[in-house]
Structure 1
């Protein structure tokens, strides 16, 4: 978090570089002897299907034929980080894993600490340090959350333009509700995080927008969730639910069903990570989709984003060199990155990488919004998505997701929700 604004300033320069550091397809196998087995923990979403992973693995192993990859898939009923913990406890910790929160694993010495020379192709090699080490490849940037919206519903409700301030957002939601339309599509269920997307947005722009190192201060016990700044952000989220702008019965809906509900026209606004843009451009729907930044009180530009999410390697992998080579090849191969961009809407944080010219209009619009924020030094961390010393303590993400559902349904008041987070934080420490 301390360096996110500096990283943002660098993007505008590095993205435009013509001296490309992205690796092209090669047949440099690194040896033709016995194949070295590497287990790879993946996960599946509406964007990242089994076919996507199989093709991605094949692209890398075709260029590294001495590596044999065994794909593991985290169950949809269990978060991939929790599943990785389960595998570790049972002595089956994978050799390579992607988008697994390194907190806890790294401190215990279970993850390989990437060396500076191994991170030379990444824009932000110092991103997300854990006790001075780097245990997850800083492969891409994601904005979490922009707000996707149904342009037809906005027009039908008389909403002109896109909300810039919180008052604009409330006005749009009131007009949509008056027309019998559901303002916000949300979910939760076994996936948890869809219920917290709005709260992530409010906390990020209101708390980090004023105090960028707030979570660092929380780790030092200088601030609390029950303090006025954080409580006020949660109160705004609770107000949306109290006004009926969020369907309380939808919190049992999992991520895939939540996305489909928006595409089916069951609500007007869908706060979600920028990975949704890939499906917005490719999946069937009968309305145009727009995107705007999460609004602030005064209209000031504040864009929550997270750089990281890449591969981690088991420090004790039997074939450690092969595991590292596979991870680096997967994350820096241009063909693979191009496919990832179109499949998952991410913004690669690789030196010299240029976005494909044929990306869809929603992805392009979101990318342009992010670049504007970079140019104006308006990027902050996305609350709850950090994975380093400045992130939530291990286990706290699940508590945050649960609190969001409880606030939506009214099971917890704002005060109770914030007090609960403080209590759980003390337990986690």
Structure 2
């Protein structure tokens, strides 16, 4: 997500180097494992402290030394650590495909995966699971302010044409149609992720695999047409003023304050709706040309295990305990808008209190509809090679400043070629 801060990274690496010694052995010997985490508005230092302590108790003799990434861009930081010979023993919510080719990760026991998760293959890579599929997200949904929709006399759109009409009606009433935290690339990428996932993958769910095979390209007319829709939203003045200068955090504050009518964001935004505003918002999927429901879906999970961990058995036991801890899922559901994917459980089992818009969003997960890979977000076989995730986010930012949509899509093909050499 958010790009790394080099100074903070250097300091964190130095701290890790000073504290990553460990003892190995068998029996009652102790072992220390390093665990790469990250902080966010929902996943706070207090959350990590409690969740680590609870899982650590299940593995006698184990000590966990937490390593906090300087931003939520875990992959960039993990690669820095790897380059300096300090690859962590456990890594939270990384993109496994960026490490499996080098043999850096250990897959989980498939029987354990099958026994505990609703979609055991949800984030599998070539049939192996490197991150337990504990939860899922829709990336993006479009959240809307009910009061502002009523003021403009509009209803949630289902088609692309209706979406533009709604934006026009809102603007005519002096209401900003769309909020965007465009200064943070991952947030800026939401419209392009939505458009390509809905228009391209919605019609051809195998598109990403065909891109790997070289039979389709970003420069193809259908992808350019989807990206052009984003450019049209920009040139029509439907985004908040200076959208590229607005941070992700400030975009949430602005939308919650009623400064814009709609907000395309991953379903984790659900955890950022104040309780006294739970009834103020609704949600709809990114609209398609024909009005069909297409959900850009990503199965998330907990931690990956390093193949070089000093005690893979202890690392696995800790990771399994953490992944199945209901308290962790409760925090992720309430604070990060995660949709739980553990077998044999309902929301009631987690003792959570969630908003009506959460319930509405979660129904998209449980309903029978077309779910496709949220491009630039999934961690399974459809994961982007190299830095294509970041490149797609950057392309979405570029669409705020150029009419050369085809050229921006061609750049993605060039990046793909470089990443797959």
TM-score range, shorter chain: 0.7 to 0.9
Q: Which residues in structure 2 correspond to 1:345-364 (within 5 Å)?
A: 345-356=337-348, 358-364=353-359
Choose which of 240, 247, 252 in structure 2 pairs with 1:247: 240
Note the C-alpha offset of 1:268: 1.2
Structure 1 position 215 matched with structure 2 position 208: yes
Structure 1 position 72 matched with structure 2 position 67: yes
Note the C-alpha offset of 1:290: 1.2
**Structure 1, unaligned stretches of length 5 or more?**
1-30
Alpha carbons of structure 1 residues 246 and 135: separation in structure 2 relative to 1, 3 Å: same
Note the C-alpha offset of 1:403: 0.7
The answer to whether the Cα contact below 8 Å between 2:279 and 2:357 also exists between their aligned partners in 1 is no
Quote the residue 1:188 is aligned against. Answer: 182
Note the C-alpha offset of 1:167: 1.5
Structure 1 position 396 matched with structure 2 position 388: yes
Choose which of 51, 61, 84 in structure 1 pairs with 2:56: 61
Note the C-alpha offset of 1:79: 1.4
Following TM superposition, where does structure 1 have runs of at least 4 consecutive aligned residues deviating by more than 3 angstroms?
Answer: 31-35, 62-66, 284-287
Note the C-alpha offset of 1:308: 2.9
Choose which of 363, 369, 373 in structure 2 pairs with 1:381: 373
Structure 1 position 166 matched with structure 2 position 160: yes
Choose which of 404, 410, 416 in structure 2 pairs with 1:413: 404
Q: Give the secondary-structure state (helix, strand or coil) at the position aligned to 1:105.
A: helix
Note the C-alpha offset of 1:412: 5.5
Note the C-alpha offset of 1:248: 5.7
> What's the CA shift string for 1:142-186, capped at 9, x where partnerless?
111111111111112222x31111122111111111122211111
Indicate the larger mover: 397-406 or 173-182: 173-182
CA distance in 2, matches of 1:131, 1:371: 26
Q: Give the secondary-structure state (helix, strand or coil) at the position aligned to 2:282.
A: strand
CA distance in 1, matches of 2:386, 2:162: 36
Q: TM-score, normalised by structure 1?
A: 0.86
Note the C-alpha offset of 1:134: 2.3
The answer to whether the Cα contact below 8 Å between 2:121 and 2:127 also exists between their aligned partners in 1 is no
Note the C-alpha offset of 1:281: 4.7
Q: Which residues in structure 2 correspond to 1:54-203 (within 5 Å)?
A: 54-76=49-71, 79-119=73-113, 120-159=115-154, 161-189=155-183, 191-203=184-196
**Structure 2, unaligned stretches of length 5 or more?**
1-25
> What's the CA shift string for 1:1-27, capped at 9, x where partnerless?
xxxxxxxxxxxxxxxxxxxxxxxxxxx
Q: Give the secondary-structure state (helix, strand or coil) at the position aligned to 1:217.
A: helix
Indicate the larger mover: 251-260 or 79-88: 251-260
Q: Which residues in structure 2 correspond to 1:269-284 (within 5 Å)?
A: 269-282=262-275
Quote the residue 1:224 is aligned against. Answer: 217
Structure 1 position 262 matched with structure 2 position 255: yes
Q: TM-score, normalised by structure 2?
A: 0.88
Structure 1 position 204 matched with structure 2 position 209: no
Alpha carbons of structure 1 residues 223 and 156: separation in structure 2 relative to 1, 3 Å: same
CA distance in 1, matches of 2:304, 2:163: 39
CA distance in 1, matches of 2:358, 2:123: 25
Note the C-alpha offset of 1:392: 1.2
Alpha carbons of structure 1 residues 400 and 60: separation in structure 2 relative to 1, 3 Å: same
Note the C-alpha offset of 1:322: 1.5
The answer to whether the Cα contact below 8 Å between 1:32 and 1:65 also exists between their aligned partners in 2 is no
